[in-house]
Structure 1
Amino acid sequence: MPLESVPCQPGSATRCARCTLHARCLPLGLALDALSSFDAIIQHPRPLKRGAALVRQGDAFTSLYVVRSGSLKQTVALEGQRDQVTHFYLPGELVGLDAIGEAHCYGSVVALESAFVCELPFTRLEDLAERVPELRGQLYRCMSRELRNDQRMMCLLSGRTADQRLASFLLGLSERFRTRGYSPYCFHLSMSRSDIGSYLGLALETVSRVLARFQEQGMLTVTGRELTVHDFEALVALAEDGVGRQAYV
């Protein structure tokens, strides 16, 4: 199913305590007064149509963003090469952590479907984090997860077959959907086969061929962009040679 479970309309309440993503978002565990202060720095949720850019590569870094609904992808333009997909963002995830150090956006971030994002001006977030240790700790944990994801991708792309790469990718999506309250066995692939191939270092034809093979083997079915996993254990067994399911938690 599309990731539209958090209805957001212009003028709707942006209070974090009322958001269904509160348990997966940056203010997790904040006391009521700190949560109120965090609410105060959030810009009004911004709507994005499919294909609209949230930020562009090289833009000055001013804010972090939390995906409130929908999904986005990050692409990096490389000289003399095709754009490389480097990240997919789901609800509750932070966009822009990789821009903090250099103060400019590492890649362009584009909506894969209709989406809403909450903007967090970084200077105001920094000031608040200095006064609220719990928020500072949660921000560090988000950064740590980002580093771990980068390490996981290095392992995923190193010496692994196309089947193993795609199985690991699907398991990673499954786990991310599960932690957000969605089914880990039936979910919507908002990204295209081409995007998946770019992310995994595979050709579009290879992604399509491997998905067809997985279906023939009875591990899953794909109807359009709706994917249903039938044999989760077989998918795990295929992927666990090097990078196990726990790498995605």
Structure 2
Amino acid sequence: MSKDNQTVHFLATSKPNETHCSTCSLSSLCLPIALEKGDLDSLDKMIKRGRPIQKGELLFKQGDPFKAIYAIRTGTIKSFTVAPSGEEQITGFHLASELVGLSGYSEDVYPLSAKALETTTVCELPLEKLETLCDEIPGLRKQIMRNMGGEIRQDQQMMLQLSKKTADERMAYFLLDISSRFERRGFSASTFRLAMSRVDISNYLGLAVETVSRIFTRFQKKGFIKTESKEVTLLNLDELNTLAGTVSDQSDCQLHPKQSN
């Protein structure tokens, strides 16, 4: 079986220098938010932290039984569906501190696949243990629901972009969305690395690869961005926000549709 068709199997191993919820730099963005220390310890005991997932490895595959959700610690994951014809449609890109696999709640199987775009580490939360812990810690259940709501909101915003925006507007929105998510994690909002290929970006935005390449070139000529390999620097956030039809709320680093008068 090829690496591309294998799903990752985690080993519930623990090492003395292993990251724990109480010491993780992403804890304020992930499930442990607002949990008491005792609750954090209970959550820590059920989490599995296995070996890193290598680029191209599947975290889970469409149709696999829904057994766990995953919190990304480092790296980037793409989620996608595969049609009967074999055509792949990317549904999202997931960064550090974000949860993957929540959509499995709808059908008891994963309705999509998740693949690492670079070396990635995750925390595995087994479903059976997680549900038991949610009964004991109401704040944990609330946080999971909050994450599910955020995922739905993000999907709705992207659907709006794909249905009503031009190619340039979609790209501007995409870059600003990635920017705001990096900023929320304490990283630079203006300079960041895109782990996804231009083929993946074109698939996600519903554009031809050639169109994506032309937009990157056009944005550079206009002074909107600068690119070097996979690193992107946003040079003119105001122009990008105007093009995307969004405003940036600095209080929560989120993008919002611009209100018309």
Q: Structure 2: any 5+ residue segments left out of the alignment?
A: 1-12, 257-261
Among 31, 36, 45, the residue aligned to 1:40? 45
Matching residue of 1:144: 149
Check if 1:179 corresponds to 2:184. Answer: yes
Alignment of 1:25 with 2:30, yes or no, is yes
Determine helix, strand or coil for the equivalent of 2:179.
helix
CA distance in 1, matches of 2:103, 2:37: 29
Shift of 1:176: 0.2
1:219 to 220, 224, 235: 224
Is 1:235 aligned with 2:240?
Answer: yes
**Aligned residues of 1:14 and 1:45 also touching (Cα < 8 A):** no
Q: Does 1:164 align with 2:169?
A: yes
Work out whether 1:135 is the aligned partner of 2:163.
no
Q: Does 1:15 align with 2:15?
A: no
Q: CA deviation at 1:78?
A: 1.2
Q: Distance in 1 between matches of 2:221 and 2:128?
A: 52
User: What is the Cα deviation at residue 74 of structure 1?
Assistant: 0.9
Deviation beyond 6 Å, 4+ runs, structure 1: none
Q: Deviation string for 1:68-88 (max 9, x for gaps)? A: 101110121012362011110
CA offsets, 1:124-181, max 9 Å, x none? Answer: 1111111111111111100110110121121111121000000000000000000001
Paired AA for residue 157 in structure 1: L
Q: Match of 1:65, SS?
A: strand
Q: Is the 8 A contact 1:44 1:119 kept in 2?
A: yes
Q: Which residue of the other structure, out of 42, 56, 64, is the alignment partner of 2:61?
A: 56
Aligned counterparts of 2:50 and 2:85: Cα–Cα separation in 1: 36
- Are residues 106 and 145 of structure 1, via their aligned partners in 2, closer, same or farther at CA, if it must alter by over 3 Å? same
Aligned partner of 1:89: which letter?
A: H
Stretch moving more, 59-68 or 73-82? 73-82
* Residues 91-116 of structure 1: CA deviation (Å, up to 9, x unaligned): 00000011111011111111100110
Structure-2 separation of matches of 1:160 and 1:74: 22
Match 2:211 to one of 202, 206, 210: 206
Q: Distance in 2 between matches of 1:106 and 1:245?
A: 32
RMSD over aligned Cα atoms:
1.6
In structure 2, the partner of 1:66 is 71
Partner of 1:101: 106
- The answer to whether the 8 A contact 1:48-1:116 is kept is yes
Corresponding letter in the other structure for 1:105: Y
Identity in percent: 42
TM-score (norm 2): 0.88
* Unmatched runs of 5 consecutive residues or more in structure 1: 1-8
- Contact between 1:64 and 1:121, CA under 8 Å: does it hold in 2? yes
8 Å contact from structure 1 (residues 46, 118) kept in 2: no
User: Following the alignment from structure 1 to structure 2, what is the Cα–Cα distance between the partners of residues 107 and 222?
Assistant: 31
